[in-house]
Chain A
């Protein structure tokens, strides 16, 4: 069993810690760093509640080892708002009632941010396809799609 010193830039701030090789990135974020915005849902790479951006790409942090993120950049839901101002995707979820229980929301928003970065003008189909790795058990998909459309519009004018 090996332990490793990892240095990860999380939401722009460098974080360092010693971790066991088997520590999952999601546990590193939630337990080592105390950043509980990233949720653990299915724990089996299905639901996307734990989605984060790893070096700019959306990934399921329950299926990435913390050591794999060493030297890399992670963005979590805590990094979306800047200087007290909500990110357009957060505004979208608020305005369009994109959440009910809210459990899937952080992962949904990070996946949506990654999607909009790749495709700033997604069709409804492309949004649904882009979010197909994220499950909402309240089944609030209609409004989640609207929230992403809201964010896409808003980001065009910024």
Chain B
């Protein structure tokens, strides 16, 4: 399968990329291309122009700065896979990256693309919701920061204006006593989640939960932030009863549709089970386990 014909540009600077995007209403940004190119082959997308960011090395970085982990939008999934910082300090992100597609895809696929594509089946959105991340959008007037819980506006739709490019992701650097985990059920390597749950927790001095973030993958039209479940656990001790109550609320926040991956009931039950496991693992890691 060959994609429909299109024009192709490799801007030398971010400013040039933003200008090109503004001038071409039918243009799309090419990041890793591992969602977009298959969609083009299937004629689900037929942009008139692809603006390739792969030559903008300045958009590929990973650093802690001013209390944030800053990830350049063109950072490859494989770079997270191979980063000691991510593996040690950001276990939720490490778990998530490892579950995205397969190692070959991860060599090309980018963190920014995974978010900007806004497929509710993608894995990073739930993790970023759990972290309480922000994204930076760069447009003709400069940068603006969008909290991740305001970013996903519909299936494959985001708060980005047409002439804005997602350029950076910011994750609050977790303080000591934090941990997270991503639990995903997929039918096979490379499949989208039947359901998945991201959890991030920070424990306070009395071992109660100071911060709780819970995100759900592929159980609704957008990635879902399970706010009621978060609120139920906040300020509470993460004991079994409280974790189970939060997981129940997470499954109630899910809006899955029955399909070939499972019935609505099955997916809801799956969310509950995965939420219990993700929260338990997050707590274990927060305690240094």
Contacts and interface: CB of A to CB of B under 8 A. Distances in A.
A22 B3 CA distance: 6
A1 B6 contact: yes
A59 interface: yes
B101 interface: yes
Given A24-B2, A68-B54, A46 B190 contact: yes
Contacts of A20: 5
B103 A129 contact: yes
Nearest to B54: A68
A44 B3 CA distance: 12
A117 B10 CA distance: 30
B104 A22 contact: no
A46 B189 CA distance: 9
Given A63-B38, A65-B33, A22 B6 contact: yes
B2 A4 contact: no
Nearest to B49: A2
What range describes how many residues of A lie at the interface? 20 to 34
Contact of B103 (A24, A68, A130): A130
B83 to A, nearest CB: 14
A60 interface: yes
Contacts of A134: 104
Contact of A22 (B2, B33, B102, B103): B2
A22 B189 CA distance: 28
From B10, B54, B101, B103, residue with most partner A Cβ within 10 Å = B103
A24 B38 CA distance: 11
Contacts of A111: 103-104
Given A44-B41, A63-B38, A2 B8 contact: yes
Contacts of B2: 22-24, 27
Contacts of B34: 45, 63
Interface in B70-114: 78, 101-105, 107-108
Contacts of B52: 67-68
A58 B37 contact: no
A100 interface: no
A59 B30 CA distance: 16
Contacts of B10: 67
A65 B37 contact: yes
Contacts, number: 87
Nearest to B7: A2
Contacts of A43: 1, 41
B4 interface: yes
A57 interface: yes
B196 interface: no
Contacts of A21: 5-8, 50
Contact of A44 (B33, B38, B103, B189): B38
Nearest to B48: A1
Interface in B1-47: 1-8, 10, 30, 33-34, 37-38, 41
Contacts of A45: 34, 37-38, 101, 105
A132 B52 CA distance: 28
Given A22-B2, A63-B34, A129-B103, 8 more contacts: A1-B7, A20-B5, A21-B50, A22-B4, A44-B1, A58-B103, A65-B33, A65-B50
Interface of B: 1-8, 10, 30, 33-34, 37-38, 41, 50, 52, 54, 78, 101-105, 107-108, 189-190
21 contacts: A2-B6, A2-B7, A21-B6, A21-B50, A24-B37, A27-B2, A44-B1, A44-B38, A45-B38, A46-B190, A58-B104, A60-B108, A63-B37, A63-B108, A64-B33, A65-B8, A67-B10, A115-B103, A130-B103, A133-B104, A133-B105
